[in-house]
Chain A
């Protein structure tokens, strides 16, 4: 599991080819992040049910037209949570005291790393469900589209995430450690419903600075 350097540069707002100094900075920060990361993930299968505009993911109830659309035809879904662990947060805090440039580069590298870690977890889960001829939809996170961010608490509770992977929620509804992800993935028999392409395509926030215009990004 490594940091996608160009992705990290993209998070830093770099458009086009990064210059040598930026690339050197990001490369060394990526190394530090990889050393400090203790990536952990957990997931759990839940039945999916839709009734009167409400979506039920096991015992969790929510409203989200976007997620209902993504999970169309799915009888089951996976609740998923992943984190790089407290060490990465500490690394960034430490850098903040010494160098702002390093701090932002570490932050960007960590964001890229949690994404690639989630991609890896998702590939493993996909392989596991292949035997059942089930495929995974792209992962969809609370806070995106119309899926409320407040769903994170219920997902973490059901996954027992604080104990299992050390991922917690603050009173303000933020994940701590910061470099963490919660998501829902549908399990579907319909290969046509699966998009393994760019997740940005699912997102309605078309004015996002970080929106990928092509599958390759950058």
Chain B
């Protein structure tokens, strides 16, 4: 019988702690518990059997640390160990005296003990592969289900669940370990956990470890509020406490049982224990809860998207989706994407978050770009700088598949439409990876002219999604607004379609609002008015420019008027601070040179614009104000009169001025000589702050920096030098241990005979280390690198 036939129909009981029991039976500190599957099968059988006989329906195999990443060079293969672990549990089940109750064996899947990129160095696909190996072995050995547990990072959790779904047909239970504030170690909350796990299609979800059932209850309630799946609770016997160097747990079996009964009454329907719990706890748990019927699992209607840290519910109140990461009509972004200038893209992402966007649309659709490569790369990079959920925006199914797979969370998927080709390509991806799909109301016949026509397509998409098992709560309909400049009725049609779709289908809606004004002057005015109207017709998400005052004013005002801002606190927060008729601030009394020297970026940008308005030539402004200011600051830094923070603040002010002046300069002539510098933090080193400082300064001094990032293998550095023809490479290392890989990198550059110099820097480096590594120059600080670069390129 499959566990799925019983799940949710009666309370199911899990086993309790394993580690403490093994230690009591002789496991030594520092020894891996999983090695006992083969070394001490007798002990494992005894422990498993004790749990079955105490009342557990399901025991977890002793494979918590049996993934290749944690197991490392263990004494035998993963497969052999997993097979022994499953066998031990099955033998215990055969021996256990339980009066004929059905007993199940769950393959335990625990965390790798490593952090995934970008915080650590573990690659997502390597993580999936490590879990896949264990899961295949467990299924082959005869496990009845997969129990992914104690996950404290959403991305790792996703890797484990994907591995389970892709490599077995067994039911999947997944539980996370929250801290005492209800967050995962890397920040995810209960709502985000539910969004991710439901999206990935697990069979039951919940929490384990951390603390006792009493502390767990509020977080359990949060899980129950959002989950449409059966919820698992497997807590510790209280908070771990240190007693004379030993970890002890204080909750007695009796209290544990009583507290867990409360959890069962709240709605948890799979119950067990984690650290510090014993067969006595499980016996008390079963005795106390026996006879209780599980509360029926209600279907929740929240429309949740999430990042690694939090979820956004589109049904809670209308949200702003930032539209700026889309190259259509944006010259600077197009150039940045073409030149692989991620810095610009990331700065735009951060800016939109500061402007109160709640989800960011990410589109890299340019004919000259390979979207299947570019979209996942940009998505991962954007997720390294913002915790906002993303809307993946592509018409290329391959790009969408790759981006959805690597996305850390449950994304919005922009888009699917009524065409057969689109339905067939996109809906299965949503089913597999989870997501909220944006459904465009167009099909082979184009965009229907009437609201009813668009409703019909929305209905069709919803039906097709539901047939695949994707609930309508995960569909957000875009009724498409066409420009009023082609037909004034377009606005009314879109508004009518919004109303109809909301009424007939009860789904959320989204609109790319600014399309309405295409071809008109002062587009923002029409956009803002239309946006307010759309919100009042039930729009749940506007894809807009959060940098537009008018649009955000309309958004905040409409939320207040539509009852989404009780007491108008958000409204007052935004507008109370603004003086009546807030005008542009009076222009500063500083000169541009002073603004750069003082590191005032906003003023520097403004003053550069004023200088251009006063008919100064951009190059003149650069030479007369910006460059002398930078030189003065650089000299003061070198003489110890001012320090790194001021140097960098000036650099940023200069950058702000450059940006204004550059826009006024003619495009760089084809074939113009760029002074290129390749920068990298060497392999094995994940500290890149020093390298980033050097980058900012080099850019300031006009060098074209090719930034390879951190943890860069020697081959990648040599390849970049070869391809770019850069005459200078800058390598950074923070720790003595990575000076070796610096030496390796330099050796490879020399071995390939590349005509370039190498400058090195970083916390532990000195002239001696630099010489040992074979560098041409040791730069004690960022300005020294600039000076060396100038010397290499014969400037300065």
Contacts and interface: CB of A to CB of B under 8 A. Distances in A.
Contact of A172 (B351, B387, B684): B684
A178 B735 CA distance: 12
Interface stretch (A64-72, A95-103, A190-198): A95-103
A168 B737 contact: no
Nearest to B766: A207
Contacts of A174: 121, 684-687, 735
A26 B737 CA distance: 30
A178 B30 contact: no
Nearest to B741: A172
B599 A101 contact: yes
Interface string B131-158: 0000000000000000000101100000
A205 B652 CA distance: 34
A19 B642 contact: yes
Nearest to B382: A97
A104 B711 contact: no
Interface string A1-29: 00000000000111100110110011000
B699 to A, nearest CB: 10
A170 B737 CA distance: 12
Interface size class of chain A, counting residues whose CB lies under 8 Å from the partner chain: 35 or more
A59 B28 contact: yes
Contact of A166 (B186, B696, B766): B186
B4 interface: no
Contacts of A97: 343, 346-347, 349-350, 385
Contacts of B111: 162-163
A31 interface: no
Interface string B723-749: 000000000000111100100000000
Interface residues of B, number: 62
Given A25-B649, A86-B115, A100-B692, A38 B350 contact: no
Nearest to A29: B645
A137 to B, nearest CB: 17
Which of A58, A100, A172 has most chain B Cβ within 10 Å? A100
Chain A interface, >50% SS class:
mixed
Given A13-B644, A15-B643, A158-B29, A170 B387 contact: no
Interface in B134-187: 150, 152-153, 177, 179, 183, 185-187
A104 B114 contact: no
A197 to B, nearest CB: 24
B536 interface: no
B685 A12 contact: no
A119 interface: no
Nearest to B186: A86
A92 interface: yes
A170 B120 contact: yes
Contacts of B683: 172
Contacts of A173: 684, 735, 737
Given A14-B644, A157-B30, 20 more contacts: A12-B645, A13-B643, A21-B649, A59-B28, A85-B185, A90-B384, A93-B384, A94-B350, A94-B386, A97-B346, A98-B351, A101-B645, A104-B693, A162-B114, A163-B111, A168-B113, A174-B687, A176-B120, A177-B115, A207-B766
29 contacts: A18-B643, A21-B599, A21-B646, A21-B649, A38-B185, A44-B245, A58-B30, A86-B185, A86-B186, A90-B119, A96-B385, A96-B688, A97-B347, A100-B648, A100-B652, A100-B692, A101-B645, A101-B651, A103-B689, A103-B692, A104-B648, A162-B113, A163-B177, A170-B121, A172-B684, A172-B737, A174-B121, A178-B686, A207-B766
- Give me the 7 closest cross-chain CB pairs, A-B, nearest first: A172-B684, A166-B185, A97-B346, A101-B648, A45-B245, A162-B113, A59-B30
Interface of B: 28-30, 111, 113-115, 118-121, 150, 152-153, 177, 179, 183, 185-187, 209, 245, 343, 346-347, 349-351, 384-387, 598-599, 640, 642-646, 648-649, 651-652, 683-689, 692-693, 696, 711, 735-738, 741, 766, 781
Interface of A: 12-15, 18-19, 21-22, 25-26, 38, 40, 44-45, 58-60, 85-87, 89-90, 92-94, 96-101, 103-105, 107, 143, 149-150, 157-158, 162-163, 165-166, 168-174, 176-178, 207
